[in-house]
């Protein structure tokens, strides 16, 4: 089926999911929208995140997508159920796939979850993990400094390490988690630093891989996979600054010619 898959995030974080989609489904065409101008979503009230998410979804629906990937944990936590109820295309979020992978990896059933304030306060991971296995012990932690740092392109170096170290200290010191879920799609961009701070004995889980697998399964089931010979031309849109977006997209997706387009969505009142 020759229609694109829509991918949304509050900014560059969803690119970590897009890269897995490209790897696992190389024939599929993606349309990516990052609402960089209004990022971060994490500290915003639920109603605002719902409104902004719908504005992103409307933008992509006009481009005739065959499936929607909500590559943002905060938006998934607040909107997945209503998007699924109201849209007539399949909608995939990132929380369930991340929870499933963590359970698969953990040996001692002590799992850490880091995410935005919105995601952590929603308890969406707690629910998803406990639904699968209610013996699991969960320690969660909001990391509000990570997303602004990533959006500014600060992914390495001493200052970044210091922020990651100070933020994760409570999780590292007190608990014996063997698995840590990166419950925000921006965080895989800081994965090396997070692994350094937590130690090599902790499995770090990003939901991208499992999410892409789920997209593939569901599209196969709905007979929506593309199986022609077209070379996919992905499209990238951002509501914010092009420079940093392009730089991160080019590096992360290893495609030096990516050039996003700047768009306006909703009323952009914030
Ligand atoms: N990447 C997003 C997430 O997974 C959103 C981060 C934010 O905008 O605060 O939650």
140 has a pLDDT exceeding 80 = yes
Half-sphere exposure of 67 (CA within 13 A, CB side): 27
Distance from the alpha carbon of residue 1 to the mean position of ligand 1, in angstroms: 30
Distance CA 263, CA 152 (A): 19
Annotated catalytic sites, by residue? 72, 184
Using the mean position of ligand 1's atoms as its centre, give its distance from the Cα of residue 7 in Å.
13
Mean pLDDT of the 107-126 span: 97
Distance from the CA of 174 to the center of ligand 1, in angstroms? 26
* Residue range 179-196: mean pLDDT, rounded: 96
Rounded alpha-carbon distances, angstroms, from residue 153 to 39, 160, 192, 256, 265: 14, 10, 15, 16, 23
What burial class does residue 155 get, using C-beta atoms within 10 Å of its C-beta: 0-12 exposed, 13-18 middle, 19+ buried?
middle
Please, which residues bridge with residue 34 across strands? 9, 238
Token pair belonging to 236: 């990238």
Please identify, by atom number, the ligand 1 atom nearest to the C-alpha of residue 41: 8
More confident residue, 195 or 244: 195
Atom index in ligand 1 nearest the CA of residue 71 equals: 4
Model pLDDT, residue 268: 55
Residues 150-161 have a mean pLDDT of 93
Q: What is the pLDDT of residues 38-56, one digit of tens each?
A: 999 999 999 999 999 999 9
pLDDT of residue 270: 45
pLDDT in tens, 50-76: 999 999 999 999 999 999 999 999 999
Give the pLDDT of residue 269: 47
The Cα 181–Cα 168 span in angstroms is 13
**pLDDT averaged over the chain?**
94
pLDDT (tens digit per residue) in 233-259: 999 999 999 998 999 999 999 999 999
Q: Decide: 73 in ligand 1 pocket, CB within 6 A.
A: yes
Ligand 1 and 93: CB distance under 6 A = no
Task: Provide the β-strand partners of residue 181.
Answer: 113, 205
Q: Identify the structural domains of the chain with CATH numbers, from first to last.
A: 5-93+209-262 (3.40.50.1860), 95-207 (3.40.50.1860)
Pocket flag, ligand 1, residue 39 (CB < 6 Å) = yes
Residues 6 or more apart in contact with residue 134 via CB below 8 angstroms: none
| Binding site membership of 116 for ligand 1 (Cβ less than 6 Å) | yes
Distance of CA 223 from the midpoint of ligand 1 (Å)? 31
Ligand 1 nearest atom to the CA of residue 39, by list position: 8
Which residue is it, tokens 């970590």? 16
Confidence at residue 174, expressed as pLDDT on a 0 to 100 scale: 67
């Amino acid at each position: 089926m020759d229609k694109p898959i829509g991918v949304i995030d509050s900014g560059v974080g969803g690119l970590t999911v897009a890269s897995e989609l490209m790897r696992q489904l190389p024939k599929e065409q993606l349309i990516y929208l990052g609402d960089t101008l209004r990022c971060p979503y994490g500290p915003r009230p639920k109603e605002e995140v719902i409104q902004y998410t719908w504005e992103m979804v409307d933008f992509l629906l006009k481009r005739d997508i065959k499936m929607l990937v909500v590559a943002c944990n905060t938006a998934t936590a607040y909107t997945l159920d209503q998007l699924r109820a109201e849209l007539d295309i399949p909608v995939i979020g990132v929380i369930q796939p991340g929870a499933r992978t963590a359970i698969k990896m953990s040996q001692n059933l002590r799992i850490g979850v880091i995410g935005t304030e919105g995601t952590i306060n929603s308890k969406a991971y707690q629910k998803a993990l406990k639904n699968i296995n209610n013996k699991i012990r969960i320690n969660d932690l909001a990391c509000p400094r990570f997303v602004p740092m990533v959006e500014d392109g600060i992914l390495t170096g001493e200052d970044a390490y210091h922020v990651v170290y100070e933020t994760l200290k409570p999780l590292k010191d007190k608990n014996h988690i063997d698995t840590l879920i990166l419950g925000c799609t921006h965080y895989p961009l800081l994965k090396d630093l997070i692994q350094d701070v937590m130690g090599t004995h902790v499995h770090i889980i990003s939901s991208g891989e499992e999410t892409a697998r789920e997209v593939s399964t569901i599209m196969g089931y709905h007979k929506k996979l593309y199986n022609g010979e077209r070379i996919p031309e992905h499209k990238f849109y951002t509501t914010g600054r092009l420079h940093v977006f392009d730089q991160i997209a080019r590096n992360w997706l290893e495609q030096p010619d990516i050039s996003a387009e700047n768009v306006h969505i909703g009323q952009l009142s914030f």
